[in-house]
Amino acid sequence: MTELMTELTLDLAYSPSHFATDFEATLTRQAAAGHALRARHQPMALSYGDDPAACLHLFIPPGEGPCPLMVFIHGGYWQALDHTATDFLAEHYLERGMAFASIGYGLAPTTTIDTMIAQCVQGLEAAYHALEDNSGTWSITLGGHSAGAQLAYWVAVSGKVPIDKLVLVSGVYDLTPLVDTYVNEPLGLTQTQAQALSPQFGELAKLPPSQIVIAENDPPTFHQQGHNFVALLRAANVQAELVELPGCDHFDVLEYL
C-alpha cells in the first residue's frame, strides 16, 4: 500500500491537469483560435525530414522586412499535440510586426526525445532560412512550453542557428523524477537517459539571455524546478529572469504571456 501511495503521489505531482481548472476546454479554445487565425492569415507550411509530424507553420507579418522571428515548440509531455496547438500565439506577435513559427516533431513512443530534438533543430533552421528568403530577420527568440521547454533548451545549445533570447514556459528541467511516473510509459527512459536529457545537467553557459516562466497554478514540482533552473543559470553567468504569472495554470499560461 505504501509503495502504491508513493507512486500515486508522484504521478499527481507531475500531472499538470490535476492542478488545472479545465485543461480540455483550454486546449479546445486555443485550437479554435489557431484555426481562425490561419483562415485570416495563411501561414507558410514547411516540412523537414521524413516524419509527417516534422513540419511547421511560418506566419509572416505584412510589410517589408527584415523582422524579428519568434520560434515556438509545443508541449504535450513528448507524446501529445502537434505544431498547430501553438498557432494561436502567432496573432500576438504579428500585431507587433514579428514573424512566428510553430514547430512540430514526432511523438513518443514511435519517436525518441533525441530524435525530437534533432527535428526541432531542423525546424528552427527551416523557419530561419524561409524568413531570410522572404523578408529577412534581425533577431530570433526561441520559446517552448512544458516538454517544449526541454526541447527548446537543446535546440538553443546546439548552436545551429544563433538565438538572441530563450523563453521557457512551465518546463521540466530535471527529467529524472519522471522515470517512475506515468509520463515515462511511452518514453521508456532509464535514470541515466533521463539525466542526460535534462537541461539542469547540461551546458548552461551556452544559453543566451533566458526568461523562465511559471504559472501560478502549475504543479508545485514545476515551481521548484523553475526556481532551481534559474538559480543554476545565474550560477553559470547566464542572464536569467524568473516570471511567475498569476491567475493561470499550466495550459492557459500561454494566453498570459
Spatial separation of the C-alpha atoms in residues 211 and 240, rounded to whole Å: 6
Q: What is residue 49's predicted lDDT score, i.e. its pLDDT?
A: 86
Question: What would the mean pLDDT of 19-43 be, rounded to a whole number?
Answer: 97
pLDDT at 140 over 50: yes
Predicted local distance difference test score (pLDDT) of residue 65:
83
pLDDT at 120 over 50: yes
Phi, psi of 208 (to 5 degrees): -80, 180
pTM: 0.96
> CATH number of 2-247: 3.40.50.10810, 3.20.20.70, 3.90.1150.10, 3.40.50.1820?
3.40.50.1820
Q: What is the mean pLDDT of the chain?
A: 95
Could you read off the pLDDT of 52-80 as tens digits, one per residue? 999 999 999 998 889 999 999 999 999 99
Residue 212 and residue 166 in contact, taking contact as beta carbons nearer than 8 Å: no
Q: Is the pLDDT of residue 5 over 50?
A: no
CA dist 165 to 45, 54, 80, 179, 225, Å? 24, 23, 26, 30, 20
Contact 106, 54 (CB under 8 A): yes
Q: Is the pLDDT of residue 6 over 80?
A: no
What is the gyration radius of the CA atoms in the chain, in angstroms?
18
Q: Give the tens place of pLDDT for each residue, 73-98.
A: 999 999 999 999 999 999 999 999 99
Q: Are 256 and 51 in contact (CB under 8 A)?
A: no
- Residue 1 pLDDT exceeds 80: no
3-state per-residue secondary structure call for the chain = CHHHHHHHHHHHHCCHHHHCCCHHHHHHHHHHHHHHHHHHCCCEEEECCCCCCCEEEEECCCCCCCEEEEEEECCCCCCCCCHHHHHHHHHHHHCCCCEEEEECCCCCCCCCHHHHHHHHHHHHHHHHHHHHHHCCEEEEEEEEECHHHHHHHHHHHHCCCCCCEEEEECCCCCCHHHHHCHHHCCCCCCHHHHHHCCHHHCCHHHCCCEEEEEEEECCHHHHHHHHHHHHHHHHCCCCEEEEEEEEEECCCHHHHC
